[in-house]
Amino acid sequence: MNFGLLPPKDYLLTFEELRNSILVKGPIFYKTWDAKWRLTLVENLEIMVKQLWEIGIDQIYIDGSFVEDKAHPNDIDGYFECDLLDLATGDLERKLNALDPYKVWTWDSKTRKPYRGYTKKQLPMWHRYRIELYPHVGFPSGIRDEFGNDQQFPAAFRKTRDTYLPKGIVKIIK
């Protein structure tokens, strides 16, 4: 890791490779690295990604503090590429919730709920899995760059949000 970040590029990883990577197992010099928690996050991510795969979505990327040198990340953030019509009509949400026993697939801000100790309200998927996966259809993400411009997910995920340093991301592959 470079400045605690993955060097800039896309890292294509299967779940087996992710479980055995430095992102889960940690650098040997980190005494506080929470590999058990990170493994739990990966297992939760796998549940959600398999649901995306089942409906034909396979362009899935993860980011956030999970891919940085934070010993105990709060969650895993990610995005996936999908069809605008499926998203706009609600078909995407319906198909995914038909597969998920907890019906957590929604991005409606009205479904966000507080969590103790957090100022930001969280989506149902975060409360159940500690994962936030957002659909990407070519529109801005709501994440701004260092100049105040709204970015699409691919660009937003390839820089840190505070220092805007370039970084790598992980693409989940089968």
Burial environment of residue 113 by CB neighbours within 10 A (0 to 12, 13 to 18, 19 or more):
exposed
How does residue 2 score in pLDDT terms, banded at 50, 70 and 90?
low
Separation in Å, CA 55 to CA 20, 115, 137: 27, 30, 16
User: Is residue 41 in some structural domain?
Assistant: yes
17: Cα separation from own chain's centroid: 17
In this model, does residue 105 exceed pLDDT 70?
yes
Quickly count: other Cβ atoms within 10 Å of residue 135's Cβ. Answer: 21
The structural domain count of the chain equals 1
pLDDT given at position 161? 85
**Tokens 């993400």 -> residue:** 141
User: Is residue 1 in some structural domain?
Assistant: no
User: Is residue 49 in some structural domain?
Assistant: yes
User: Is residue 31 in some structural domain?
Assistant: yes
In this model, does residue 138 exceed pLDDT 60?
yes
pLDDT given at position 55? 98
User: Is residue 4 in some structural domain?
Assistant: no
What's the domain range around 129? 10-172
Burial environment of residue 77 by CB neighbours within 10 A (0 to 12, 13 to 18, 19 or more):
buried
User: Taking the model in full, what pTM does it have?
Assistant: 0.94
